[in-house]
Chain A
Amino acid sequence: MTIRLSEVESQTQELIVCLVGMPNSGKTTLMNAITGGNFRTANYPGVTVSLLRGKSKPEFGPALSIVDLPGVHSSVAPSPEEELACRVIEGNHARVRPDAFVLVADATQLERHLKFAGFVAKQGKPLVVALTMMDILRRMDQSVEVEKLAAALGVPVVPVDPRTGDGVPELVKTVHDFADAPPLGSVLARIPDEPVSAFKAIRDLLQRSQAIRRLSRFSRMTDSHTMRIDRIVLHRYWGFPVFFVVLISLFAAIFWAAQPFVDAIDAGFSLAGDLVVRVFPESTIARFVGDGVIGGVGAVAVFFPQIMILFFLMTLLEDSGYLARGAALVDRPLSYLGLHGRSFVPMLSGFACAIPAVLAARAIPARRERILTIWIIPLMSCSARLPVYALLLAALLPGAAWKAGLSLAGIYVGSLLIASLTAGLASRLVFRYRKPSLLAMELPLYRTPRWKPILRMTWARGSSYLRRAGVPIMTVSACLWLLSNFGYTPASLAAPAKMEGSFAAQIGQKIEPMLRPMGVDWRVGVGLISAFAAREVFVSSMAIVFHVNGDDDQTAQAGLLEQMRTATFAGTSQPIFTPSSIFGLIVFFFFSLQCFSTVAVVRRETNSWRLAGTQLAFYTGLGYVLAVASVQILRALGVG
């Protein structure tokens, strides 16, 4: 075969093959199967709404560069993601110039999925049709005769099962064979773009091909399996109980199942940090590496189990087909708030971490609803707030674990309510409530999940998260370490400064007048500033500013609580941590957007600083005002 030189990124010599098709056709799973999971997101994965790029596995012959395009319903009235896909297909994208196309079509919905083939065939590039979901077709006692279909369409048709890998080598071979052949899709190219006549043309084509027995029955066929499950899942009374059970199990898994891993990672990193500091004693660099860098990596890594479990369960739910049902179930209440059924997944992810949540918001078609969803995501009580709440609640309600637990549950429910309220108000006041955009959400047929593709997908999403979110968190925490360990005086630059003389302390002391109304002093201010790296850093920096030395985690927490109990404002005997000031801190953490990574991700997703900046200022300002207000009101009421 001839090798074409394309002008694409660093002159790759591989053929560039684009996977195109409608949403839910199984493109990303096929991508996984062809590349063996070896692909990079050219952008972050939401629920496949970006370009994925990878190389085909070596056992499939000469490497192909595979690009997975966002799912497209229509080339006529596209959403931003569809527009991107159409631009690539038409060859108008600056960096991805396709040499051949693989149209991924769901065999159970041939008419709908072939409609788009016309647009692809018109580009005059080689085209191969990959038929997926053949197993479901068999389950429905139907079949498609592939040879007849290929003859009628005028392009090669290969049945594949991307989940087991069946047919994938044949597909890649066919792509190789046909990549240099003159384009064959002349029959398909005659399919008009306009939907009514396009559907008619395709039906005629299928009729003539005789590839499907009893075509009239084909479009009426039902999957009894799916109907049976939907009868319960979408049941008038059972629908919501099932939904809540699924949600509660999801949360339970994220928080409890992840806990042992979180503890192990936490212990591992503090051990590694200690080791570096002990092996190279009295060296600033060792302390920087041990506390700043390794501590920073650890701050990211402790989220990893939760994020992985979240991604795993989300992929599992998505793959089985339930996620779309869940989104449909909550569409009614969400659309009342000016959101969309598809806001459900971002909001749910927001309880683990705002970053994947903001990225998942890409799946929302209408810009107004996407912006509104992104707007409320920081209010969702993310898992980075959990250690902070745990510390503050333990200080507020000493010795009553069940009260603290109950309050924590209240904070979670409260965050959902406040977010709903915010969305409802914002959609009416700021966005001027309009009728919601079209729901028109496809509910995939239920399938038994396959572990391998799910694990692969989880890994791809999780490692991508680590790369994207990890770097900013690590950078910020390293900077904060430098700030809190170096001071202004030249002498202290050589030897690590005492906390009081550090830049961080100086900044803290500068803003102390602002902190006084909240009932706290500069030391808490340092904690609050450092929490912008990641909220849970608050706990460790509080331990630093209050000089807590503990060997293992448990005593550190207990020691910190003890220190907090006895801490007083400098030069007085007035305690800092009174019920009112602790409550004020909880209120502050509840509202404020203390997460630079989230701000950065929002900026990138909306492509402007406007929303990100407004969000940062609004929520942090709101948190401050409400914290001050609640402290002052509580004091006025005599709570102390």
Chain B
Amino acid sequence: MWLCAFVSLCSNHDPKLRSGYVAHDPKLKLLSIPTSGIVGFVKVENDNRFHLIIETLPVKRLSDVALNEWRRIERLEGPREDCERLLDLGFTPGEEIIVTHAAPLGDPLVIRVRGALLALRRREAAWIFVE
């Protein structure tokens, strides 16, 4: 996914740029654009600003990803006890997982993690954010 953000005129060394400060679009006020995601700068004609091109890693909920796509867990976000349980089951950040099946009513989902097949409800899968 490509995203074009306007960045105030500034140099490469500007700390604001490194922290990914985006001036003109409040919706894109991302506080931490991953440095690795910055693809480059573009100078646009008749515009006194740099256009920063960043490659955002779309973070999705596991309940929204398509079947049979390997995804890396970014974080868990949900009720504390349940998330602790998910961690115990092997859903740790950085781990690669895949949704292999959805049961007939669309729920639960069957997820492969660390060699095991686990059935998770959609609402539980939604606590798992994947890249």
Contact = CB atoms under 8 A, between A and B. Distances in A.
B101 A329 contact: no
Interface in B114-128: 114-121, 123-124
Interface string A100-116: 00000000111110010
A77 interface: yes
B8 interface: no
A435 interface: yes
Contact of A341 (B87, B115, B117, B119): B119
Given A219-B96, A442-B116, 12 more contacts: A74-B84, A109-B114, A110-B115, A112-B116, A219-B95, A219-B115, A222-B100, A328-B108, A331-B121, A332-B107, A439-B124, A440-B118
B81 interface: yes
A202 B117 CA distance: 20
Interface string A340-376: 0100000000000000000000000000000000000
A332 B103 contact: yes
A333 B108 CA distance: 11
Return the 6 tightest CB-CB contacts between A and B, nearest first.
A239-B104, A74-B88, A109-B115, A195-B87, A328-B119, A443-B117
B22 to A, nearest CB: 31
B120 A111 contact: no
Q: Which of A226, A227, A328 has the most CB of B within 10 A?
A: A328
Nearest to B84: A77
B124 A218 contact: no
Contacts of A328: 103, 108, 110, 119
B82 A111 contact: no
Given A199-B92, A439-B124, A443-B118, A234 B110 contact: yes
Nearest to A237: B104
B43 interface: no
A331 B115 contact: no
Contacts of B103: 234, 239, 328-329, 331-332
Interface string A436-447: 101111111100
Nearest to B78: A438
B104 A240 contact: yes
B90 interface: yes
B114 A195 contact: no
B117 A445 contact: yes
A467 interface: no
A199 B86 CA distance: 13
Nearest to B122: A332
A432 interface: no
Contacts of B90: 111-112, 115, 199
Contacts of A122: none
Contacts of B117: 226, 442-445
Contacts of A333: 105
21 contacts: A74-B88, A109-B114, A111-B90, A111-B115, A195-B84, A195-B87, A195-B88, A196-B93, A218-B115, A219-B96, A226-B117, A227-B100, A230-B100, A230-B101, A240-B104, A328-B110, A328-B119, A331-B107, A438-B86, A441-B108, A442-B117
B115 A112 contact: yes
A214 interface: no
B13 interface: no
Contact of A332 (B105, B114, B116): B105
Interface in B61-102: 70, 81-82, 84-90, 92-93, 95-96, 100-102
